[in-house]
A and B are shown apart, each in its own frame.
Chain A
Amino acid sequence: MKSMLRSGIVGLALLAGVATAPVLRAQANKPAKIKASAIRVEMIHSDEIKLPAEFQVSLYEDLIQQLEKKGGFQHIYRQGDRNAEKVADLVILHSTVTGFKKGNEELRQVTTVAGATSIKLHCVFKDKEGKALLESDVTGNVRFFGGNLRATYDFAKKTAQIAHDSFSPTAGT
C-alpha cells in the first residue's frame, strides 16, 4: 500500500515536470526586453488609405490609454511633447495604416459571423536616432458587437501588449 502511494507521488511529480517543461523552456527562449524607460506615440499616419479624422484620433488616443493602462514605461509622451527630448532611452512609436476592411455593424448584430471590420497598421518602434528596434503588423478587429471604433480599441490593446512584452525600463528583464 505504502509503495503504491510512493509510486503515485512519483508519477504525479513526473507529470507535473513534463507539463511545466515547455513553459519553462519558452521563458528561457524569450528574447530579452529592450531597455526603454519612456515611449513617445506619434500621430497615426495614413498615406495610402484615406482615414476619417475621428478614426485617426481614436487610434491615437486609444493607443495612449492602453499603453498607460498596461504599464511597463515610466512615462508615455504624446507627439511633440518637449519633455520627451530629455529622455535618453526613449522609444518612438510610428504607426501607419496599411489596410482597412469594410464592416457593417447591423450585419454583425444580426448574424454575429458576418460584417466584421478590421484595420491593419504597420507599427515601428524606433530609438531617438531613428533606428528601428522592432516592427510589427497589428490588426484591429471588431467581430461581434460594437461600433467601428471598437476596432481601434482592439488594435491599441494588441500594440500595448507588444510594447509591454518587448520593452522594459530595466535592461535584460
Chain B
Amino acid sequence: MAKPKLGLYWAASCGGCEIAVLDIHEKILDVAAAFDIVFWPVALDFKYSDVRAMEDKSIDLCLFNGSIRNSENAEIAHMMRAKSKVLVAFGSCALEGGIPGLANLTTKDAIWNYVYKESPSTVTKNGGTYPQTHSMMPEGSIDIPEMWETVKSLDQVVDVDYYVPGCPPQPEQIWGVIEYILSGKPLPAKGAVLGATDKTCCDECLRERKEKKLKKFFRPFEIQTDPNECLLDQGIVCMGPATRSGCGALCTKANVPCRGCYGPPPNVTDQGAKMVSALSSIIDAQDPQEIESILDQIVDPMGTFYRFSLAHSILRRVEKS
C-alpha cells in the first residue's frame, strides 16, 4: 500500500513551528518512514510547481503554520487547501494570527512610515522610499507580494479541518497527533482541536490557587514571587484561566506568567473577553469606580489578553482613535 502523503508549509511565521516538529528528535525518522513527505520547504526540495502539478486532494495531511499577512501567503494557502484532504492549522499564528496578529493594533501605513522613514537608523532621502510591488530595473522588471492591511488566521482565508494550538505546539503533543493519525483510528469531528486538552492551563499548573481577592496588580519585573503560590493570587496577571491546557504549564513552572499561547479553552471564542470575566471575579471591590481603578493597574490589557489571538478574536483589529 502506498504511504500516506504529508505536506508541511509555513506562511507568515517565525520558523518555531518547524523547530518544534524537529524537536520530536529521533522520531522524525519514523515520520519520514511512515509518510511520503511531498512538500516541506524547510527540509526537502519540492517546489510550488510540483505541488501545483498534483491532483486535487492528493496530499493526505497538510500541517500549515503561520498567519496570512500578504498576497503570497494567501495564494499558497488556497493551493494547499485544494491539494490536501486534511488541512491542519498548526500553531498559534495559523490558528489565531499569533504574535504577528498584534500588527492589527496598528496600520500598514504606520508600520511603513516607521520602518522606512522614521526609524532612527533609516536614511530618508527625498521624503523617503517605500517598497513597490512592481519595480522596473534597467535590466527588466521584478516583483514582491503585496502586504495586507490586516493579519488573518488561516481559517479566515480557507476552510480548515483541524487545529493544533501552541507557540509553538509542544513536541510531545505533535508526536501524539502524528501517532494518532498513523494509528488509522477514525479522525475526530471536523473543527476539533488536537494536541491539547479540554481544560485550562490552570488545571495543569502545579501552583496552589486560592482564588484570592485582589486590590493590587503587579508587573512581573516589580516583585519577587513565591514559587508555589498561584501567580494571579500574587497579583501577577496570568492568562492561565483563559487558556487551553496542553503545554504542561511551562511558563508558570519557569516562574513567569502564562501569556495564552495555547488559545482560548473549549467553548470560548474570545480569549480576551474570557480573561476579563476571570479577572472581574477576583477583584476585591464592589464600587464600580474602585473596580475600575484596580483594573487600571493592568497595563496594556489589549496586548496581554489578546497577545496571540487578536486576529481571530471578536475584535480582529483595533483602530486607535
The answer to whether A and B belong to the same complex is no
Query: Measuring CB to CB, which residues of chain B are less than 8 angstroms from any residue of chain A?
Result: none
